[in-house]
């Protein structure tokens, strides 16, 4: 038996070796970054269609003639930059994009909630989260939510879809014990998430978030643990190629931030909770998904609204529990007879009243909000820090696991000589 050499073992377990494998397992990052560079260059450098197209043709010709190697890789990256530039130049405003609109499910949900409504402010919040309509929210209530950093809760986005995905994941959890049940569960969750999108009227920003989460859910359902990050990055790249002006769209930014937070932070934490069989695993998963998504949108909130509600992190777990309750019970209303639905809506209304009361109290609390506006460079630096933190933690955990295997003789990687099993 011929054991792995010490240099190979070091390369396997060293920080550099593990980090390199993590980068190589995320090739979609090398697709997205050059596209973003090209899109941002289009806003500051005017070269014209002809020049960029000519450069692109030259790069393609160069790529065909060059042998595979580092130079060819650099040419591919430059070609992707050119593609991003052309996509941004050719992108027209998508303001004419149509939502799914007043479909039967959306209309039924709106009428059902309106039928039982009593308190105006509670009804406005429930309607905003469950049906996607915000017209009834008063300016005072809207101001309280904006001041405390919870304004994004009133607009259906990747955060809400992530919560709905978690709720339906619980619903289909027993399927996990059936052969290939995890795949059926993934498909079922995706179908119900899209039903929720239709129920909210299906705005373009909501559908884009649903596309990203659907890709994530189906990737996990196929058992490809390395695929979700790649899938999300490729989806973002394709959406930007379709419409490069999405870079400036706040809803798109919030959805991307929330979904990336769920992928990079929440899912590993949820997996750890279930691996360790911690008590109240469902509740902890709920808090993790909602809390992480809220943390990831904070820099954008500061950049957009001019305040940084750091104290909201302390209130977020409780707020997220209320949001889960409103969404779960609000959607349940559609499938209940009127007598039961009226009772359930009474509970939903009280939860929404408590939700509004917590937000209003927070808005009136001195020191809750730090008035600080982050500039674009600071926001980018923070998100780079978020990504690097998740990358370092992933590399550290993988290195720790490989080192553990390397220290245990019975698990040490070995190559067996099948011709001479006795070592002769």
Confidence label for 118 from pLDDT (cuts 50, 70 and 90):
confident
Q: What is the mean pLDDT of residues 210-238?
A: 71
User: Is the per-residue pLDDT at 13 higher than 70?
Assistant: no
**For 57-88, how does the pLDDT look when each residue is reduced to its tens digit (9 = 90+)?**
565 555 555 555 556 566 666 666 676 666 66
User: Is the per-residue pLDDT at 364 higher than 80?
Assistant: yes
**Closest listed residue to residue 297, CA positions, set 394, 200, 157, 167:** 157
**Closest listed residue to residue 215, CA positions, set 197, 235, 196:** 235
Alpha carbon dihedral 315, 301, 330, 203, in 10-degree steps, equals -170
Burial class (CB in 10 A: 0-12, 13-18, 19+), 14: middle
The pLDDT, as a whole number, for residue 405 is 46
Q: State the chain's mean pLDDT as an integer.
A: 75
pTM over 0.75? The answer is no
User: Is the per-residue pLDDT at 177 higher than 60?
Assistant: yes
The pLDDT, as a whole number, for residue 228 is 66
**Separation in Å, CA 128 to CA 125, 138, 370:** 5, 12, 27
Contact between residue 53 and residue 257 where contact means Cβ atoms under 8 Å apart: no
**Closest listed residue to residue 76, CA positions, set 38, 24, 21:** 38
**Closest listed residue to residue 351, CA positions, set 376, 375, 334, 333:** 333
Contact between residue 320 and residue 286 where contact means Cβ atoms under 8 Å apart: yes
Residue with tokens 């979700």: 228
**Which residues, in sequence order, are CB contacts of 332 under 8 Å at separation 6+?**
344
Burial class (CB in 10 A: 0-12, 13-18, 19+), 292: buried
Confidence label for 141 from pLDDT (cuts 50, 70 and 90):
very high
Contact between residue 260 and residue 26 where contact means Cβ atoms under 8 Å apart: no
> Of the segments 55-59, 246-250, 309-313, 388-392, which one has the largest average pLDDT value?
388-392
User: Is the per-residue pLDDT at 226 higher than 60?
Assistant: no
Please state which of the ranges 24-33, 156-165, 350-359 shows the lowest mean pLDDT.
24-33
CA–CA dist 159, 245 (Å, integer): 22
Distance in angstroms between the alpha carbons of the first and the last residue of the chain: 10
Domain ranges, ordered by start, for the chain: 23-90, 105-374
Does residue 93 or residue 136 have the better pLDDT? 136
CA–CA dist 201, 143 (Å, integer): 24
Please state which of the ranges 213-227, 329-343, 376-390 shows the lowest mean pLDDT.
213-227
Please state which of the ranges 51-55, 213-217, 419-423 shows the lowest mean pLDDT.
419-423
The pLDDT, as a whole number, for residue 80 is 65
The pLDDT, as a whole number, for residue 424 is 41
Q: Beta-carbon neighbour count of residue 75 at 10 Å?
A: 19
**Which residues, in sequence order, are CB contacts of 228 under 8 Å at separation 6+?**
215, 216, 219, 220, 263, 267
User: Is the per-residue pLDDT at 326 higher than 90?
Assistant: yes
**Separation in Å, CA 364 to CA 139, 144, 354, 367:** 16, 9, 15, 9
Confidence label for 29 from pLDDT (cuts 50, 70 and 90):
low
């Amino acid at each position: 038996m011929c054991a792995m050499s010490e240099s190979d073992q070091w390369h396997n377990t060293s920080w550099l070796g593990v980090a390199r494998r993590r980068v190589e397992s995320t090739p979609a990052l090398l697709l997205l970054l050059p596209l973003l560079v090209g899109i941002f260059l289009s806003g500051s450098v005017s070269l014209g269609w002809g020049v960029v197209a000519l450069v692109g043709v030259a790069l393609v010709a160069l790529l065909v003639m060059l042998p595979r190697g580092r130079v060819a890789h650099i040419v591919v990256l430059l070609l992707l930059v050119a593609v991003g530039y052309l996509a941004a130049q050719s992108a027209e405003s998508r303001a004419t994009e149509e939502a799914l609109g007043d479909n039967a499910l959306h209309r039924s949900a709106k009428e059902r909630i309106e039928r039982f409504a009593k308190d105006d402010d509670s009804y406005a919040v429930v309607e905003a989260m469950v049906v996607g309509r915000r017209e009834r929210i008063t300016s005072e209530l809207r101001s309280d939510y904006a001041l405390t950093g919870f304004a994004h809760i009133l607009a259906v986005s990747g955060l809400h879809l992530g919560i709905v995905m978690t709720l339906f994941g619980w619903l289909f959890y027993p399927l996990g014990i059936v052969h290939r049940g995890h795949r059926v569960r993934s498909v079922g969750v995706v179908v119900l998430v899209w039903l929720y999108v239709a129920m909210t009227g299906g705005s373009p920003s909501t559908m884009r978030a649903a596309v990203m989460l659907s890709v994530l859910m189906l990737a996990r359902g196929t058992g490809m643990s390395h695929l979700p990050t790649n899938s999300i990055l490729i989806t973002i790249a394709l959406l930007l190629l379709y419409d490069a002006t999405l870079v400036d769209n706040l809803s798109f930014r919030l959805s991307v931030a929330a979904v990336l937070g769920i992928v990079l932070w929440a899912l590993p934490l949820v997996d750890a909770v279930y691996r360790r069989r911690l008590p109240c695993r469902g509740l902890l998963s709920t808090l993790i998904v909602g809390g992480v998504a809220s943390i990831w949108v904070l820099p954008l909130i500061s950049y957009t609204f001019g305040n940084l509600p750091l104290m909201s992190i302390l209130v977020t777990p409780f707020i997220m529990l209320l949001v889960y309750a409103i969404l779960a019970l609000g959607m349940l209303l559609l499938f209940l007879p009127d007598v039961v639905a009226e009772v359930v809506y009474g509970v939903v209304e009280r939860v929404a009243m408590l939700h509004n009361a917590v937000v209003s109290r927070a808005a009136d609390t001195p020191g809750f909000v730090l008035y600080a506006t982050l500039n674009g460079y600071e926001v980018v630096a923070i998100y780079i820090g978020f990504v690097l933190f998740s990358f370092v933690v992933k590399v550290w955990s993988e290195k720790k696991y490989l080192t553990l295997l390397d220290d245990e003789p019975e698990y040490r990687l070995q190559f067996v000589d099948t011709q001479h099993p006795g070592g002769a």
